[in-house]
Amino acid sequence: MNAKPAANNFPKLHNAMWPGLVGKKSMGGAEPDLALDTMLDLTAKADVGGVKFDGVDIFLNNPHTDIDVSDDGLKALADKVRSKGLVIGSVVAPVWFFGTAMGEQEKRDGWLNCVRKTVRAAAKLRELGVRPYGVVRIDSAIGVTAWDADPKANTKLIAKTFREAGKKQTAWQQKFYKK
């Protein structure tokens, strides 16, 4: 059968970049990190019956992309991804390293600041034209055991922190997204 593969309009097919880091040396694991260039090359070359990846989802964490990456660094990343014929979709906020959506105010402030930085990077990538769609992926950054100590109160606090991020989102969008 010589069936031609269908165009992959929706859903878009993306390769997640964080498996190149999670469980690897830079994150305390035993396996070597997979370089971003290697992951992009493998993603661009992957082809299963004519179906290819549309893009990648990135994790703002070293050694791939520091959360405090400069605009020039984001431009270099955009150029690199674009040169492979790919786009960037989801941008994952590395909230686990900065705080939690639950607990003391200092932890929640660290979590909110991480989300703010991720929104800034995602907005810049969109402005650079390499991120035509996608979300900023967040997580409560709290383990089940800690949450389970008081599920009702902890769920309320997590929801409050997420709402605060949502309220701040409007201000962040005005600052980072050009209209």
pLDDT tens by residue, 98-149: 999 998 999 999 999 999 999 999 999 999 999 999 899 999 999 999 999 9
The size of the chain, in residues, is: 179
- Residues of the chain falling short of pLDDT 70: 1-8, 10, 169-179
Return the closest-CA partner of residue 14 out of 177, 141, 139, 131: 131
How confident is the model at residue 7, as a pLDDT? 60
Distance CA 129, CA 25 (A): 32
E-assigned strand segments in the chain = 14-16, 55-59, 87-92, 136-137
> Considering the entire predicted model, what is its pTM?
0.85
Return the closest-CA partner of residue 55 out of 66, 46, 67: 46
How confident is the model at residue 170, as a pLDDT? 64
Contact 73, 66 (CB under 8 A): yes
